[in-house]
Amino acid sequence: MKYLSTRGGVSGLSFSDTVFEGLAPDGGLILPEDIPEFEEKELNELSKLSYVELAFEVFKRFIDDIPYEDLFQLIKRAYESFRTPEVAPVVKKGDIYILELFHGPTWAFKDIALQFLGVLFEYLLQKTGRKINILGATSGDTGSAAIYGVKGKKNIKIFILHPHNRVSKVQELMMTTVQEENVENLAIEGTFDDCQAIVKSIFMDLEFKRKYRLTSVNSINWARVLAQIVYYIWAYFKVREEEKVEHIYFCVPTGNFGDIFAGYIARKMLKKKIPKLVLATNENDILYRFVTKGDYSVGSVKPTISPSMDIQIASNFERYLYYFYNEDAEKTKKAMEKFAKEKKLEFSSEEVKKVQEDFVSARVTEEETLETIKEFYEKTGYVVDPHTAVGIRAVNKCLSERPVVCLATAHPAKFPETVEKALGMPYELPLEIKRLFELPKRYQVLPANEEKVKDFISRQAL
């Protein structure tokens, strides 16, 4: 499989070429030149596989420049760190199937992609004799998942900035209790926006970036999307087996459009046996407005109790747009350039109709999120995290069809304060998380100052 850019300036890239690049050189996003579809006969074979075997079968169709034996070993290693060999169990609660994506080391779905990316980075670096330094800013989930993806890996060092004393306690501990020497936690005396601004500005200093071989692991990385396709197909088989039906809906709580875009690709591979994807947003609702009204205009980011979805510009949206415009790169490029200038795109009612062949959407308020955690617990005895609750509520609001799979993107223990508030009772943390409170911590406090951060990186980088 070869890869191209959504803006048409690049084609013929190999999979390995895409792994260390966020953007394509022309500013577009990277996509495979075509999307393989599964034949009916193949589906029956695939449905019998373990998670790791299925991941191998999916990856094989997109990766042709890593020997198959090596690829299988990489996938196996990536998912060994999960607390269950099933990797992503599907459980039925009431009339909803929950796809539990939080059994990785940092208890949220980003582990599924970043555990794979970590072993893949190490493998490719070893082959070429290169070293990289990863730089990123986090308000929680991504940073800890990235740290756990690469900790202890050879030829990689990671620098993650987080706002000092402004991330949740559990999230902070997941990062700062990591002792491996290739991990540097930088606790910045400022807000998440300060952290992000510093990282962005450092990446724009091309000389510094080149000198220290800085790499990012953000959600536009194609290998991350690829790893996420697998669990849709996996859950599709589980529910098909259980319900004996062909068509299964999926609901995805969305921020950067990364996870749901993987669902969109899975839907293509399954030839629309996922009839529609439910796109669930919190009060940061740009994607909801896009699906329901054709209004893709940036508002201001509002902090919510589902913080990993507090995003206004959905960085993977361009990939969808490319398919929406029937793979017309010129049209995609024009639209994205217009969006960069005007901070909005408007779609006609004809176009909205077309979007609605792929998605339905609902926006979920803070109050509704809390209510859903409580009601779902009362009905089923199962506690969900606030992001998952947004998904469940969205299904109740906009989808009557069943069966439906709601993606559980984080474990409730990552957001104990919110869960306790919703349930009105104490929430007991799992033992593995309680233990974090006793471990020694390793981090550096730095002022919100780009030069100070650069100075630290230049002294510590590989």
Ligand X SMILES: *Cc1c(COP(=O)(O)O)cnc(C)c1O
H helix runs in 305-430, sequence order = 317-324, 329-342, 349-358, 366-380, 386-398, 416-423
The amino acid sitting at 311 is I
Amino acid present at 420: E
Q: Please give the Cα distance from 136 to 23 (Å, whole number).
A: 15
User: Would you say 198 or 220 has its CB closer to ligand X?
Assistant: 220
- Cα separation, 7 vs 24, in Å, equals 9
Q: How far is residue 5's CA from residue 3's CA, in Å, rounded to a whole number?
A: 7
Q: What is the CA radius of gyration of the chain?
A: 21
Cα angle 430-433-435, degrees, rounded to a multiple of 5? 110
Identify which of 454, 429, 59 has the alpha carbon closest to the alpha carbon of residue 225.
59
Exposed, middle or buried by CB within 10 Å (0-12, 13-18, 19+), for 240?
A: middle
Q: Contact, 6 vs 321, CB < 8 A? A: yes
- Residues with catalytic function: 110
Q: Measured between alpha carbons, how far is 30 from 318 in angstroms, rounded to an integer?
A: 10
Residue closer to ligand X, measured from CB, 123 or 257: 257
Rounded to the nearest whole angstrom, what is the least distance from the CB of residue 443 to ligand X in the complex?
21
3-class DSSP state for residue 160? strand
Question: What stretch of H or E contains 281?
Answer: strand 277-281
The residues that touch ligand X, with contacts defined as CB under 6 A, are: 108, 110, 141, 219, 253-260, 308-309, 387, 409-410
Class of residue 77 by CB neighbours under 10 A (exposed 0-12, middle 13-18, buried 19+): middle
Shortest distance in whole angstroms from residue 242 CB to ligand X: 25
Distance CA 96, CA 102 (A): 17
Interacting residues of 270 by C-beta distance below 8 A, sequence separation 6+: 37, 38, 43, 232, 233, 236
Cβ partners under 8 Å of residue 172, min gap 6? 162
Backbone angles phi, psi at 348, to 5 degrees: -70, 165
